Amino acid sequence: MIDELRGQLRHHVDPEPRRWSGTLRRMSFARAVQASNSIEGYDASLDDVLAAVDDEPTLTADEETRLALAGYRDAMTYVLQVAHDQAATVDEGLLKSLHFMMLKHRLDKSPGRWRPGEIYVVRGSTGERVYEGPPFGQVPELIASTITELEAGDAPILVRAAMAHLNLVMVHPFRDGNGRMARALQTLVLAREQIMAPVFSSIEEYLGRNTDRYYAVLGEVGQGRWNPAHDARPWLRFCLTAHYHQARTQLRRIEETERLYAACAEIAEQHGLPDRTTGALVEAAYGFRLTHSTYKIIVELTAGETVSTLTTSRDLRALVDAKLLRPIGQTRGRYYLGEAHLIAERRRIQAGRAPKETSDPFDLARGRLSPELS
């Protein structure tokens, strides 16, 4: 069932046959960064995450959150680049490099190094110890075993990726950032297999939206301390369910983005604006900020054009004159927001989206496939 959904997604977004797919990829990447950091308590609006992805100042996120977002952005960007090299293998050096990218702003957390001592996971509200990692002296050996199982195993790729995530979390090889590292590793494994466009392989957004269940199933499997003999099937069922629902979410967004892009293209044409402004109108319709820098990025992603600073200024001025954007602030700190009627167009399109499916895919499979599945 997941393969069927991925096939539908691949038809729409791989190898980037439609201009609106640039917008969808950009937002999917930002949502993954937002979700993985929110699990660790770094909460930021999607608008601020997009700003961090673009290396722009954030409006409401504090400095620690901004640095955490930027670090994860760098690591995930590297993951997506490595994914294009199907011959690339996961090794100790890659894991340590990704960890350094994520936590380079916190030298007190030993970025890029295995933890120097024992480690415990505690419940934030009570301080109760809920998990104890293996002795730190075993970390190199256990990570080597995790990598061997990942690279030499013959299980389906969704299973191997999920087990790599689980094993890294349970070994807890770093002083901090283990969850983010495990989620990034799972995304890397999936993306490297070229199941579909790498940015759509991630289930991090689903995990962020289901954080309580994510922690609960890890607790169910971990049972308080390192023991690789524990039953991992609850975790695998959770990950497969995540893949199913994330794929369904992406398909709904594809339809919605297509319709919004077409509506914004028509609006641009009605006002005599260059076609390249359509991608910026789409982001403004979502309520996101536009700056000179982000406008250039969006135009390159959606229209394939590299525009000059002069052209950018002219386009933004034209969008303001057309009563589609309104400027906020002055000079270098200026940004632009979509006017109310532009945002209303997006809401009108969203109102027609298909209902969100909440079915358990295992229940669906039992009814659709052979009884042996139950």
Percent of the chain whose pLDDT exceeds 70: 93
Does 180 map to a domain? yes
- Express each pLDDT in 305-319 by its tens digit: 999 999 999 999 999
Least confident stretch, 200-214, 310-324, 351-365: 351-365
Helices and strands in the chain, H and E counts: 16, 4
Residue 64 domain boundaries: 21-250
Task: List beta partners, residue 338.
Answer: 325
Compute the average pLDDT of residues 271-284: 95
* Helix or strand (DSSP H, E) at 170: helix 157-171
In eight-state DSSP terms, residue 330 is S
Residue 354 vs residue 175, higher pLDDT:
175
For the cut 60, the answer to whether the pLDDT of residue 39 exceeds it is: yes
Does 36 map to a domain? yes
Compute the average pLDDT of residues 259-288: 95
State the CATH number of the domain containing residue 150.
1.10.3290.10
For the cut 90, the answer to whether the pLDDT of residue 196 exceeds it is: no
Does 76 map to a domain? yes
The number of domains in the chain is: 1
- Beta-carbon contacts of residue 28 (< 8 Å; ≥ 6 apart): 199, 200, 202, 205, 250
Residue 333 vs residue 47, higher pLDDT:
47
Compute the average pLDDT of residues 327-352: 91
Does 330 map to a domain? no
Compute the average pLDDT of residues 15-40: 79
Of 65, 133, 138, 140, the residue nearest 105 (C-alpha):
65
Quickly list DSSP for 127-142. Answer: --EEEEPPPGGGHHHH
Does 10 map to a domain? no
Does 91 map to a domain? yes
- Express each pLDDT in 41-85 by its tens digit: 899 999 999 998 888 888 889 999 999 999 999 999 998 888 877
Are 46 and 218 spatial neighbours (Cβ–Cβ below 8 Å)? no
Task: Tell me the average pLDDT of the chain.
Answer: 89
Are 106 and 197 spatial neighbours (Cβ–Cβ below 8 Å)? no
**Helix residue ranges, H only, 85-131:** 92-103
- Cα–Cα distance for residue pair 185/179, rounded to 1 Å: 10
- Express each pLDDT in 1-19 by its tens digit: 888 888 887 766 655 445 5
For the cut 80, the answer to whether the pLDDT of residue 136 exceeds it is: yes
- Per-residue pLDDT at 125: 66
Does 261 map to a domain? no
Compute the average pLDDT of residues 89-97: 95
Does 309 map to a domain? no
* Phi and psi at residue 15, to the nearest 5°: -100, 75
- Per-residue pLDDT at 330: 82
